[in-house]
Amino acid sequence: MTVIDANRMHEIETRYPEYFHRSFRQRFGGLMILIATLLYSLYAVWFFDLPKLLAEAHWERVGIYLSQWVSYDVQPEFRIEDDGSIEIRYPRFSPLGDNPHPDWVVNNPDGSITVSVSGTGRTVTVSKSETIVTAHGVSVPVEVSSGAPKVIGPVPSWMTVYDDNVLANLGFAGDVSISVDRVKIRKRFFGWANFVFDTQSSFFDKPVGEVVSLIVSGPRIKPDQSNLSLAFDDIWNNSEWQHGDVWTKLFQTIVMAFLGTLLGSLTAFPLAFLAARNITPNRLLNQILKRFFDFLRSVDMLIWALFLTRAFGPGPLAGSGAIFLTETGTLGKLYSEGLENIDNKPREGIKSTGAQTVLVHRYGIMPQIVPVFVSQTLYQWESNVRGATIIGAVGAGGIGLKLWEAMRTNANWENVAYMVILILIVVFIFDTASNALRHRLMGTKTH
């Protein structure tokens, strides 16, 4: 074991003072950052009043919206006529078609009608004098022959009594609204109704095998059109899902992102050479262009879209213009900073040969910056695919506008889910392709 005396220790401290005489910031910097983070978090909780916000949030709506993304409902209405008969009515645009006869609605010999709301024993039996709701292992009769519906016996927790109707909540399976002269049932199904063919199609409600047989070798449904062409038209012009319009708007979004990014990069590229201090030794011009880039990118793409939709009207032109202005500022800043960080030795070597300025830029600068510029542009392009969806919601065209229209109705959440999935797929494809191209240009391997 080596013993270090006082003189040797003093010599070591003198030689390496940074290890033995650290400043206050070096000793307590990490602790101060931790304390500041905790204090800021407490301030954010107080400023946004998070406890109250969490307590008053409608968490039950989360489950409702999520269930509507992956399901659809059918809403038959049973009207009790004066003569005691029961008339069944479906909404005008019912997923079951114009003349539905579902097997879960059964006419009983005594004139009553039984509806199977789910396969777990939840049923509703409607008669002229009472409606019996069976759920959660109990049957609850509701008398409808008097002036107001009346629950016979104790009222279960899943049933709510109002002045003129009784509402039974059956969970995901649906609900039942009972009044004196009518019973309205909402029955929910998993899946997306009529996703391929709508109720007006000649192929509606046919088994898959029969549809394939008709397309391949069946007799023509319309004499002047093949069954394959007819099937494609019915899918593309599906009135409920509007596949043709959705895919057209999706393509508009991709074109908006591509066009805006392309024009922005083409504009930013020459301006970046003028803004770079080491390329253009004019400080006034450098500062003017850099502040111009700051202005373009400091105004959010969404704000530019709002301005341009007022100027040119709603449509993809406004969206492409908003992306173009934003990308000119963003790429101009990135390009100019990239030029200022190049290695000047190749440039100086070529300049020493007496080459013209264009050749100096071509052979001394371009080989260094092209991979970086292309990589940055690809990244902005994939980001703008997502951004084009957002600005579409304010009228700039594309699938964003279509998505916003579906959300505003608060009833077409399955259509919202369809478009969200398409957007996710497109973003995933573009992210993957862009990453692969960037790694190839930069000479790095993907894992």
The region, left, alpha or beta by phi > 0 then psi within -120 to 50, assigned to residue 232 is alpha
Neighbouring CB atoms inside 10 A of 381's CB total 22
**Dihedral sign, CA of 404, 409, 412, 417?**
positive
> What is the DSSP pairing of strand 182-190 with strand 71-74?
antiparallel
The region, left, alpha or beta by phi > 0 then psi within -120 to 50, assigned to residue 97 is left
Closest of 264, 247, 261, 105 to residue 187, by C-alpha: 105
Residues 6 or more apart whose Cβ sits within 8 Å of residue 172: 67, 71, 188
Residue 141 has pLDDT above 80, yes or no: yes
> pLDDT band for position 1 (50/70/90)?
low
CA distance 97 to 200: 8
8-state DSSP, 79: E
Residue 61 has pLDDT above 80, yes or no: no
Give the residues across from 321 on adjacent strands: none
CA distance 97 to 151: 34
Report helix, strand or coil for 33: helix
Tens digits of residue pLDDT in 298-348: 988 989 998 988 888 888 888 899 999 999 999 999 999 888 888 777 777
Residue with tokens 């390496």: 16
> pLDDT band for position 251 (50/70/90)?
very high
Task: Give phi and psi for 178, each to the nearest 5.
Answer: -115, 125
> What is the DSSP pairing of strand 182-190 with strand 174-178?
antiparallel
Q: Mean pLDDT score of the chain, rounded to an integer?
A: 86
pTM score over 0.75 = yes
> Is residue 421 classed exposed, middle or buried when 0-12, 13-18 and 19+ CB atoms within 10 A define those classes?
exposed
**Dihedral sign, CA of 253, 255, 260, 265?**
positive
For residues 110-137, give the mean pLDDT.
89
